[in-house]
Each structure stands twice: as structure tokens, then as C-alpha cells.
Structure 1
Amino acid sequence: MKTMSEAKNKKRQYSAEYIKYGFIQSRTNSSSPMCLICQKTFSNEAMKPSRLLDHFNKMHSDMKDKDVTYFQNMEKKYVAQPTLSTLFSAASKQDNDGLRASYNISLLIAKTGKPHTIGEDLILPAIKDVITTVLHKPAADIMRKILLSNSSVQRRIDEMTENIEESLCNHLKTCQFSIQLDESTLPTNEALLLSYVRFIKNEKICQELLFARNLETDTKG
């Protein structure tokens, strides 16, 4: 025999038949009924036909001639609406995608040795043109999420450089390697000392730039 406490704590279950009264399960609490018409949520104690029908007759008597299909279609439209959490989730993903694109493009700029201003001067306008001309979509929201200013590109490159340097140094601590020194010249006649390391990783010979330093003298002597 059930005690009064057990009977009181037992939750009422939603029935699919409650849709004919315009009620569905609440999005935030499946044990609570929600009226599709006024979108009011009730406690679990109201999860019984008499209470739901009472609300329907008192508050929405003008819809008493509507059939079940009408309320089922209303439910589909309601479920299709984005919630606040899904909106934030979608916005967060777009922001992350924009940030990832910013890093990838900054890496390409660094690899080609182009001035960092090329991000704003050429790449962003090119992206905008592709979005509007080829994809036929407004570009404003996407462009806002891809930061390619001179300072942004420099910051991205610095962050990636620090990460690569740290990873390389950590790996060199665990393996044997050889060092090669070389001298190079910039277009401005500045001399650079380059240091390369060679090591074996995953059964392959790898070569990476360890550091580059300006030399006190230039190529003019």
C-alpha cells in the first residue's frame, strides 16, 4: 500500500491526447503542461484532463470548434521556433568559425610573406565579393566575424608562432636532432642568422626553423 508521501511525490505523465485541449509538454520541464495558445506553463498537478479542459473552456472558448489537426499544426510551428539557447549556440558557432578563418588566413599571409595589411585591403573585399556574387547572400554578418586588421593578423601570427615554438622545443627535449646555421638577406640588405633543426618524427626526417636573428652588420659590410 502506498503512503501519502509516495502518492504526493508521484508525477503525472503527459498524454498525447492532451493536444486536443491545446496542451503539449513544456520545453523547459517535460513534467509540466504548456498551453500552445497562450503559452502558459502549469505545474505537474494540472496534468490531468479536467484541469486542462477547464483552462481551455475558460480562456480559449473561441477555439472549441478547432480539431486536433489544428493544434498539431500549431505544435509543429512552435517546435520549429528557435529557443534562446539554440540562438546563442548558433551565434557562438558562427563566432568560432569566424575566429578559425581569421587564424587560417593569417597563417597564409605569414607563409606568403605579404604585408599584414593585405587582410583588410584585399582578402576581405575578395571574400565579400564571393559571398554576394557567387553565393548570393548578404556578407555583413560573416565579414564582421572575420577580423583581419593589421594588428589582428600580427596578433594571430604571434600566437601561432609561440605555440609552434613551444611544441617544437618540447619535442626536441625528447629526441636527438642536428642543427644547421645559415645566413640570409632581406630586401632591405639586413642580414639574418637562421637556425634549422633536423630530427626524426613518426619515422620521417623533419626540418623546422628554430629561430631567426638579426645580425649586427648588413650585407654591405
Structure 2
Amino acid sequence: MLSMCGTIQNIKYFAMSAKKRKYIEDYILFGFVSLQRGDTEVPQCVICYKTLSNDGMRPSRLERHLRTSHPALVDKPKAFFETKKDTLKRAKLDDTELVLGKDSANKLSQISLSNDTVKKRIDELSQDIKVQTLDQVRASPVFAIQCDETTDVAQCSQLLMYARFVSGNNIKEEIMFCHPMESFTTAEAIFDVISDFFQENQLSWESLVGVCTDGAPAMRGLRSGFVTKVKEKNPSVMSTHCILHREDLASRTLPVEMMDVLNVAIKIVNFVKAGALNSRLFKLLCKDMESEHEALLFHTNVRWLSKGNMLGRLYELREEVEIFPDSQQKVDLYDKFHSEGFHATLAYLVDIFEALNAVNLKLQGKNINILVHHGTIHTFMAKLDLWKCRVLQGNVASFRNLDTALADSNLDSELKEQIITHLSDLKSEFVRYFPDIDDKREAWKFIRNPFQCEVADVAEEVQEEFLELKFDSTAKEDFKDMDLETFWVKYLHVYPLISHQALRILTMFGSTYMCETAFSTLVSIKTKYRNRLNVEGDLSIHSYQLLIYV
């Protein structure tokens, strides 16, 4: 190999002897490879991917770029840059040439890998998706929206809006926009952004049938909330408070005695997890006892139902937890954990939180209509009544862990009273947060199955059309073979009045699940290392891919 000094002299000689500068393999010493642009070669840095002009393909300029932009890499050997070269597109182009030929490889080599170029293409793809989606929304007879806002890693408030609309033979959900709120996030500011979006994209307020938001005052304030302002544009719009939020709020009730047990459980978990040493010692204890798990789980205060996973893991490792506080001389925690009735109450808490979490999971997901949401809540409320009746008879078979814990004994009268009180309170809270669930279930009965309803169950203006549908044998056969949404979309042009009423309900969002999942994606896309990124295009493409492939 030539010495560094000799190599530079050779490079200078070859560079000056040609009018159009050519790439020399030894330029890799400065961290540059060749990138073909038309008939001209230009140097590209393998570290930052920056490209220089053909005139910049000189040893002095390449070396200057290395020393000014990457001073820590000046003394790196040639092998280091060769490794970086392998990660760059050049290595892939070699494979392309072998498979597709040299012409294809030359065409691909003209594609730049700079950050700006990649971002530009993401935005172009996003814009194309947005145009297609807006065309579908405008063509839909009705559509609904859900919106929510969050604060990202750069302390910027991001307002997100999704739409649910009729497309083809079905109902789709797509992202509309992700807009950074530069100042206030009041109801007026949020409404102005959405109103401007409607106006710019020629969306009709008359076609909007539903708005789903969280319970924040800015969204649902009675006098000046966002929903109130939307209803000024279209009074027939139905507003929905996110069913996931309501279920979480309705679950936040516990008798004082059960709350004390929950607090002790939290203290034990915090004691084991608070310090690195305790975590390691507990892990060793679990290994010695050949436990299935080796760590407890934290919970999140703002998410009440996250306590379910924490309690479940604590109960699974209760034998290990019984030993650990004593070995660490935490007498108070040890005594509370071994107090009378503690394990039975803990078992019940594990069971009831498991049931609440199961309901929450059923309410999550894409393309779930509001009828399914209401059915899930209605079922759970009926189960609460059933469980209460069983406990009154001393039967705890509905609670798996509690039933196992009491295998050799009867249900304590004090715990029995606490469980009955808790189940009653839960039912009251669910009734408070879902006050009209029975009325809506009855009003929407014709949507779930029009062939098992009576003419009195529908509005007077659609009764004649309803009878035509009910006795249509072809429609009856289609109803058996199709899902609910596809059926009503298909018969929109045949029975427009009754189908339009059904689609008004079926296009409504029951939760802000899509916004919440997008916020989770936002956390991974916009990080502290990319805190100036405009994420609308990235979120749009990510959401679109999810809807197709997941």
C-alpha cells in the first residue's frame, strides 16, 4: 500500500490531468465514494452522506471536508471508511448490477440519500395519500372524525385528526392531518385549525355526522368547547366522549379496605423495584426458587388499569415476595403482607382488574364500530349484576384466583361485604358514565338486524322503506353472508333512507384509539435527536401502512 503522503501526491496528479474529474479508489482515505449523476461522477461522504460537486473531487477539498465536518475521524485507517462504505448504497448497487444489469445500477446510483431528499419523498408520498383519502371522504355520503392533541418531546402540541367514512363497499379509517399548534390549545384554536382544513379541502359540514374526543374541557366544554363550536356548524352532529376514557374513569372506585391493600401492594413493589440492588437480589431469589418470572412490574398513576398487570405479577410471585421483605428487615411490609385476609383481598383485586383490563382490550382496535363498543359495555354491566348475585350466595367461582385461594375455606363475611359493595359501586359508576347505553341500544336495534325488528322500532319517515327491506329475500340472504357495514353500504342506493340512518351510526367513532396509537408512533418517530422533525408525513405513511398490512 502507498504511504499516505505518496497516495496524496498520486491523487493530486490524476486529479489535475483531466478536465472532468474522475473518482480514484484512494479517495476512500478521506471517507468519500463515487456517486453517478448523469454523465458526471461526484464524491459522496460515507459518514454524513453529503455530496460535493465534480469540481470538489480534489484531495484538498475532500480532506478539508473530513477535517472540518468529522475531525474525530481524521486518523482513522482506510479499513474504517471501507466498512462505512459497505453500509452505504454503493454496496447495494453492486448487487443491483449483478441482478438487473449495469444500466439499472447506474439509474439507481443517481438517487441521493441525503436527509432532505428522503424527507421530501416521504412528504410527497404522504401528500399523494392525503389527496386520495380526501377524494374518498368528499365522495362519502357521511363521515365522522376523532381528534386529540398531545405534547411531543420538543414541547410542541400536536393536533391529530382521523376520519371514518364510506369507501367502496366498506367503511375506512384514515388520518387527515397532524398539525403543530404553535401557541394555545384552546377550543377556539383547535376549531380554527379544523375549520380551515375543512374549507381548504372542500369538506362539507353537512356530511359530518359524529365527533369523538376525550373529556378535556377544551373539547367538551358546554359553553365554548370544541364540540359546541362544531354543533354551531351542524346541529345534527352527534358527539362521543371516548369510550376508553370513560371505562377507565368508571373503574376508579374501591372500598377503603381494598384501597389499603392496593396501597400496600404498591409499596412492596416500589421497595423491590426502587433500588438496583434490591432488584438484583430479588431476581436472584426468583432464580433460586425457579420462578417463572424474575421481576415485579411498575404501574402508571395516570392509567388506573395498569395496576392490573402490577397486581397480577405480584400475586404470581407472592411466595417470593413473602420472603424478600423479611430478608431485608422490612418488618412493617412483612407484617402487612402476612396480615389476615390480605391474600384473599389481593386475589380479588387481581381478578377484578383482570376483568376490567379484558373489557378495555375489547374496546381497542381499528375499524370497530360504536355498536360493538356499546355491546361490550352492556355485557360487562350485566356481568357485574351476575357476579353480585353469586357473591351474595357465597359463590366466588367467577373470580378464578379468589376461588383458588379459598379452596379450603369459606368466604369471609367482611370480605364478602367489601366485594358486594365494590361491585355495586362499579355498576353505579358505569351507569353514570354510560347513562344512555340502554336507550341507544334499543334505538339502534334495526341496524344490528333489520329482519328481527318491528316497524315501530324505526322512525316514521323510513317505515315504508324499512318494510320493503325487511321482506326482501335477497337482502336477507346477503345479511347472513356480509358483515354489518358492508351490508348497509351495498343497500345504500337501493334503500337510501334507512341505509343512510344506519351509516350515520356505523361511521361514528366510539373511541380515540387511532389518535392514541398515532401518539405512540409519534414518540418513536420524533425523538430528542430529531426534535425539529415535521412528523405529519411520517405519521400519515405509517398509519396508511398499518391499515393495509396489519
TM-score range, shorter chain: 0.3 to 0.5
* The structure with more helix, counted as a fraction of residues: 2
Task: Report which structure shows greater RCO (CA 8 Å, sep ≥6).
Answer: 2
Q: Could you state the TM-score of these two structures normalised by the residue count of structure 2?
A: 0.16
Structure with higher strand content? 1
